[in-house]
A and B are shown apart, each in its own frame.
Chain A
Amino acid sequence: MRLPRLLLTAALATSALAVSGAGKVSVHGSVQAGVLFPQKDASIGATDDYDSPILFNTYADVRLASKYVDAGLRFEFMKWPLPGFDPDFAGWGFPNIYVKGKIKGVELTGGTFYEQFGSGFILRTYEDRTLGIDNSILGGRVKVNSVKGLRLTALGGLQRVYWDWKLQSQVYGADVEADIHDWIPSMRAKDAALTLGASWVLRHEKDDGDIFLDGTDYRLKLPEETNAIDIRGTFTQGPWSLQAEYAWKGQDPSYDNDYTYNHGQAVMLTGSYSRKGLSASLQAKRSSNFSFRSQRKRNGLPAFINYMPAFTYQHTYALPALFPYATQYGPGEWAFNGSFGYTFPRKSALGGRYGTSLTLNLSYISSLVHEGDPRNPINGAVRGTDGYKSPFWKMGHTNYWDFNVQLEKRLSKPVTLHFMYMNQRYNRQALENEGGNIYNNIFVADAKWRINRKFTLRGEVQYMLSHEDSAERDFMDAHPERDRCDWFYALAEFSWTPYLMFSVSDMINTGGTGNHYYMFGITGNYRNNRLMLSYGRTREGFNCSGGMCRYVPAMKGFQINYTYNF
Chain B
Amino acid sequence: MAIDINKILHTAAASGLLMLSAISCDVAPDERFVYEEPVTRQRTVLLMDFTGQKCVNCPEAHEVMQQLVQQYGDTALITVSIHAGALATSVDRTNFERNNIGLMIAEGDAMNNAFGINTWPMGVVDRINAPGAGMLVPEWAGAVRDAVGKPADVHIAADASLKDNVISVDTRVTSTADRDLSLQVWVLEDSIKARQETKQGRVDDYIHNNVLRYVAYDVKEGFPITLEKGVENHNTCDITVKNTDKERWNTSNLSVVCFAFRGTDICNAVKTKIKPQ
Contacts and interface: CB of A to CB of B under 8 A. Distances in A.
Interface of A: 45, 48-49, 84, 86-88, 90, 182-185, 198, 200, 208-223, 225-229, 231, 248, 250-251, 255, 258-259, 261, 297, 299-300, 376-379, 383-386, 433-434, 471, 474-475, 478-479, 481, 540, 551, 553
15 contacts: A86-B118, A90-B131, A210-B146, A211-B139, A211-B141, A213-B33, A215-B67, A226-B25, A227-B18, A261-B26, A261-B29, A299-B119, A386-B29, A434-B55, A475-B197
B1 interface: yes
B250 interface: no
A218 B25 contact: no
Contact of B116 (A86, A255, A383): A86
Contact of B139 (A221, A297, A481): A297
Given A220-B32, A221-B33, A221-B34, 9 more contacts: A183-B1, A184-B1, A209-B34, A215-B71, A218-B33, A221-B31, A221-B32, A223-B25, A475-B197
Contacts, number: 149
A250 B27 contact: no
Contacts of A200: 18
B37 interface: yes
B115 interface: yes
Contacts of A299: 119, 136
B225 interface: no
Contacts of A250: 22-23, 25-26
Contacts of A297: 136, 138-139
Interface of A is mostly: loop
B195 interface: yes
Most buried by B among A45, A88, A300, A479: A479
A175 B10 CA distance: 16
Contacts of A228: 22
B142 A255 contact: no
Interface of B: 1, 3, 11, 15, 18-19, 21-23, 25-27, 29, 31-38, 54-57, 64, 67-68, 70-71, 86-87, 93, 100, 110, 113, 115-119, 131-132, 134, 136, 138-143, 145-146, 195, 197, 199, 201-202
Contacts of B34: 209, 218-221
A229 B116 contact: no
Nearest to A296: B138
Nearest to A298: B136
A217 B19 CA distance: 34
B36 A219 contact: yes
Nearest to A435: B197
B138 A478 contact: no
Nearest to A183: B1
A223 B113 contact: no
A215 B71 CA distance: 5
Contacts of A474: 201-202
A49 B110 contact: yes
Nearest to A47: B109
Contact of A220 (B18, B22, B33, B202): B33
A210 B27 contact: no
Contact of A87 (B19, B23, B115, B136): B115
A404 to B, nearest CB: 30
A479 B71 contact: no
A87 B131 contact: yes
Contacts of B199: 433
Nearest to B70: A215
A268 to B, nearest CB: 19
Given A297-B139, A551-B118, A217 B131 contact: no
A251 B25 contact: yes
A134 to B, nearest CB: 17
Contact of B138 (A90, A182, A300, A383): A383
A475 B199 CA distance: 12
A184 B3 CA distance: 8
B38 to A, nearest CB: 5
Given A87-B115, A384-B32, A540-B86, A223 B57 contact: no
Most buried by A among B32, B55, B117, B131: B32
B136 A210 contact: no
Given A220-B33, A261-B27, A478-B195, A48 B113 contact: yes
A229 B12 CA distance: 13
A413 to B, nearest CB: 50
A384 B145 CA distance: 19
A434 B53 CA distance: 11
Contacts of B118: 84, 86-87, 551
A178 to B, nearest CB: 9
Contacts of A551: 118
Nearest to A471: B201
Most buried by A among B87, B119, B132: B132
A259 B134 CA distance: 19
A434 B56 contact: yes
A209 B36 CA distance: 10
A214 B68 contact: yes
A478 B54 CA distance: 9
A221 B27 contact: yes
A203 to B, nearest CB: 11
Contact of B142 (A45, A219, A379): A219
B92 to A, nearest CB: 10
Contacts of A87: 115-118, 131-132, 134
Nearest to A219: B34
B103 to A, nearest CB: 14
B15 A229 contact: yes
Contacts of A434: 54-56, 87, 197
B30 to A, nearest CB: 9
B202 A378 contact: no
B71 A216 contact: yes
Nearest to A220: B32
Contacts of B86: 45, 540, 553
A481 B119 CA distance: 20
A210 to B, nearest CB: 3
B202 A478 contact: yes
A227 B138 contact: no
A210 B142 contact: yes
A229 B67 contact: no
Contacts of B132: 87-88
B219 to A, nearest CB: 11
B94 to A, nearest CB: 13
